[in-house]
Chains A and B, each alone.
Chain A
Amino acid sequence: MITEYVHSDSVEEAYGLLTSLGSRARLMGGGTDLSLHPPTEVDTLIDLSRASLGGISRDDGAITIGATATLTEMLEYEPLGSVWSGVVHAMLRRVASPLHRNAASIGGHLARGRLSDVVPVMLAIDASVRFYDGAPRQMPLGEFYATRRNRRPLVVTGVEIPVDGGRAAFRKFARTTYDLAILNVACGVRFEDAVVSSARIVVGERPSLAVELGDASEVLVGQPFDEASIVRAARVARDTVDVRSDPRGSAEYRRHLTEVLVRRCLLEVTP
């Protein structure tokens, strides 16, 4: 039961509250998820909307999005629509509805990780997360989750997307266009001449946190990007993905979806 609601004026103050209250407190971005489903042990919400974490900017190397920027603000920021084949905007248009995108924040998505179409795309396009845990830090988003750093007390302050990216695509499968995905897939591929120089195939809503399928990605690297290697990578994805059953879909169904969505996603990436 939420009994305290605090507006924090700075990242440092929010972090201080978080460390002193421990598991009783949660940081809040847009609140679309947290206000409806606060964990039972939580009695304090720390609202970050006044902590000066908003805004989106671009420099030579990256687009930087502040943690409290909403999904709508990301959609309205045109430079985000032109990097990585416009995958960020294409994905955001398929997230919930404008009513939610006007409130939901990028920081909330990254901090929660699960139940998100945003996270797999960010993983596929080499995004880095910025956070504060007594000092400002930055690390690749994949490492942030893989090392379980996201489970430690910290304030997500933003995300950085490299603009010198390759091509990318996103696919999701849901019962209705408006529902949470049964499975989603994002792919980011860089090319040198006609050969793949790097690839990330990411699967989310397995239903666990999105992960990169390293073995499937490796199938593509150093090869020409043709249908044969795409089909091979999709099969490896199917055979290596770690999936579970939940009310949204069975493990078997998710394994099947993985192959289909990875193949379609990669075909869309083809230059």
Chain B
Amino acid sequence: MNLTVNGAAFDVEVKASESLLDLLRRLGFKGVKNGCDNGDCGACAVLIDGRAVTSCDYPAPAAADTSILTVEGLGTEGELHPIQAAFLDAGGVQCGFCTPGMLISAYELLNRVSEPSEDEIREALRGNLCRCTGYVKPVEAISIAAARMREATGG
């Protein structure tokens, strides 16, 4: 089947029982983390055609002909995405395992809402479990990222 990951086209064989998580990691996108493999923790979140979903409970064949964005596609070589930079600046990363999923959830939120309230940020992170940070720093980071992105676009 065909799919696009971070702008690059792939033509791959998939098993009927394979998850999108396993497929993406097999293709080398190791930023997609396997936290629970049970749809609970959100570490495996990716965007499929602009919507953030958990990839462990998403069948790989269902992703045929879709466009996927993983954490590797957020920034460019040598330049972090504003959300990634804000996570570093605000101390939103501790062990880092949940971070790719959080970045994806935050990315979808900021695509829809340029000036999210704390409640909206927390709601967007509802499916991303983090055992280190207590969520305070990641929430601050997303707020900082939103402000920087508004500034950058003159909004």
Q: Are A and B bound to each other?
A: yes
Q: Which residues of B contact A1 (CB under 8 A)?
A: 17
A43, chain B: closest CB distance, angstroms: 8
Q: Which of B85-93, B120-128, B132-140, B146-154 contacts A (4 or more CB under 8 A)?
A: B120-128
In the complex, the answer to whether A31 meets B39 with C-beta atoms within 8 Å is: no
Q: Which residue of B lies closest to A43 (CB)?
A: B16
Given contacts A1-B17, A99-B42, A178-B126, contact A35 B51 (CB under 8 A): no
Interface window among A3-11, A208-216, A232-240, A245-253: A3-11
Given contacts A47-B62, A49-B62, A99-B127, contact A4 B57 (CB under 8 A): no
Find residues 165-196 in chain A having any chain B CB closer than 8 Å to their own CB: 177-178
Contact A35 B57 (CB under 8 A): yes
Check B45 for interface membership: any CB of A closer than 8 A: yes
Number of A-B contacts (CB under 8 A): 76
* A228 located at the interface, meaning its Cβ lies under 8 Å from any Cβ of chain B in the complex: no
Give the bracket for the number of chain A residues in contact with chain B.
Answer: 20 to 34
* Contact in complex: B19, A35 (CB < 8 Å): yes
A47 B61 Cβ-Cβ under 8 A: yes
Q: How far is the CA of A98 from the CA of B127 in the complex (A)?
A: 7
* A163 CB within 8 Å of chain B: no
Complex Cα distance, B16 from A47, in Å, reads: 11
A: which residues have CB within 8 A of B? 1-5, 7, 28, 31-33, 35-36, 44-45, 47, 49, 70, 72, 93, 96-100, 102-103, 177-178
Cross-chain pairs A/B with CB under 8 angstroms, 22 sampled: A3-B17, A5-B16, A28-B62, A31-B57, A31-B59, A32-B39, A33-B57, A35-B19, A45-B16, A45-B59, A97-B127, A98-B108, A98-B123, A98-B124, A98-B126, A98-B127, A100-B39, A102-B53, A103-B54, A103-B57, A103-B58, A177-B126
The list of the 5 closest CB pairs from A to B, nearest first, reads A97-B127, A99-B127, A5-B16, A5-B61, A2-B17
B residues lining the A interface (CB < 8 Å): 16-17, 19, 38-39, 42, 45, 51-54, 56-59, 61-62, 64, 105, 108, 123-124, 126-128
